A and B are shown apart, each in its own frame.
Chain A
Amino acid sequence: MKKIVYIFSDGELKRQDNTLKFYCEETNRYLPVEDISDIFVFGEVNINKKLLELLSQKEIVMHYFNYHGYYMGTFYPREHYNSGYMTLKQAQFYLEHDRRMGIAGAIVRGALKNIRQVLKYYANRGKDLDASLQKLKEFEEQIDGCADISELMAVEGNARECYYRAFDKIIENEDFVFEQRTRRPPRNHLNSLISFGNSVMYTLVLSEIYKTHLDPRIGFLHATNFRRFSLNLDIAELFKPILVDRVIFSLLAKKMVTKQDFESGMEGIVIKDRAKKLFVEELDNKLKTTIKHRDIGREVSYRRLIRLELYKLEKHLMGEKEYEPFVARW
């Protein structure tokens, strides 16, 4: 599978000899254009139109984040999988209340199951999480009773709140307590790790959506509004617990990230570059990890799993096969 490149250094990204070259003080590196599918830019990188042309031609998606690690935007090359049919189907399912509820409900159910799976792992290792697990099960049962999207969102929100509260018992590190979920800006260390992880996850899913016929602007659980992508937020719900949260747990358990890796500024608690790099590295390794997929019977990476999820959604929209969200079994 083509690779994702993460640029933290400041420098210039250029098209040279029909491939990519990154110039900076420390290294001048050629990046093989044929083996790259996404570029994540965290540093101050200069680009020009020639580069964008090449990225378009090679269908490489470029995401950029600001100094604080917030997602700022994406260079989304011209759609190469243009399908009016799929866009219409997506809109149709969005507009019909029952059908939209069907997909949104499935996504929330999948997300809660994955959350429970993560907690179960730690419960088996002697952490006192039975109460949280029980509560989450109750939330899961409420899904079917939801009459509209806002109720569904409320259930999801409450469940997630309950889940995040369990973090303290898992992490057991007083430097990283949860307190409450704060965003824009995150007000403590754990919150800023979660926020950073989630924004990388959202972008990752967006990249995968680009490689399918789906339109990232029409989500089902998250309302389609006037400004941004929402389908990626939907699908990311499923993968946040098993990818992002697990990476956070392992970074903190191994003490790879400590309090010194943060500084407080106007924008809340900001993660320093070193920790961001570590996080991204761990996540990238996780994405490359393969698991045996039960339906197709071969090894697939987590990154491929995200794409497969989108294909399942496509099939559902085309009426070929009912959408069943991915649920981790370990």
Chain B
Amino acid sequence: MFVILVYDVNTKRVNKVLKKARKYLNWVQNSVLEGEISEANYRKLKMELQNVINEEEDSCLFYTFRTTKYSQRESLGIKKGGDDVII
């Protein structure tokens, strides 16, 4: 499945969340990551984030898609991060 992760957390924990998320997803821009992920890894990621964040102050949002067939991504301005596999 394809997932978009958006997070808004206290600056103290921004880095922690980012570090965990980068293991599974591609960084797109500040506080946004996306990528293909397996069901199992998706759960792992959620668990890991849950352990890092403070549930009273922080929020993480996941948008999941079964496929990206019916969605489209447009961008304006510079490209910050990406998912190229040919570097």
Contact with A284, one of B36, B37, B44, B86 (Cβ below 8 angstroms): B86
Contact with B85, one of A9, A17, A34, A284 (Cβ below 8 angstroms): A284
A32 touches B19 (CB 8 A): no
Knowing that A5-B86, A22-B87, A27-B87 are A-B contacts, what are 16 other residue pairs whose CB atoms are under 8 Å apart, sorted by A's residue number?
A: A4-B85, A5-B85, A7-B87, A17-B19, A17-B23, A19-B19, A29-B81, A29-B82, A30-B27, A32-B25, A34-B24, A34-B41, A35-B25, A280-B86, A281-B86, A284-B86
| B26: Cβ under 8 A from any A Cβ | yes
A8 touches B86 (CB 8 A): yes
For window 1-41 of A, CB contacts with B under 8 Å fall at 3-9, 17-19, 22, 24, 27, 29-30, 32-35
Within the complex, the shortest CB–CB distance from B46 to chain A, in Å, comes to 13
Q: How many A-B pairs with Cβ below 8 Å?
A: 53
Which residues does chain A contribute within 8 Å of B82, judged by CB atoms?
A: 29
The closest CB in chain A to the CB of B19 belongs to: A17
| B13: Cβ under 8 A from any A Cβ | no
Distance of A163 Cα from B85 Cα, bound (Å): 33
For window 40-87 of B, CB contacts with A under 8 Å fall at 41, 44, 81-82, 85-87
Interface, chain B (partner A; CB < 8 A): 19, 22-27, 35-37, 41, 44, 81-82, 85-87
A3 touches B27 (CB 8 A): no
**Interface size grouping (class) on chain A:** 20 to 34
The closest CB in chain A to the CB of B16 belongs to: A17
Q: Known interface pairs A34-B41, A35-B37. Does A19 touch B22 (Cβ–Cβ under 8 Å)?
A: yes
Considering residues A4, A7, A30, which has the most beta carbons from chain B within 10 angstroms of its beta carbon? A30
Distance of A8 Cα from B85 Cα, bound (Å): 10
A35 touches B22 (CB 8 A): no
Contact with A33, one of B23, B37, B44, B81 (Cβ below 8 angstroms): B23
| A-B interface, 6 closest residue pairs, ranked by CB to CB distance from nearest | A17-B19, A19-B23, A6-B86, A30-B22, A34-B24, A5-B85
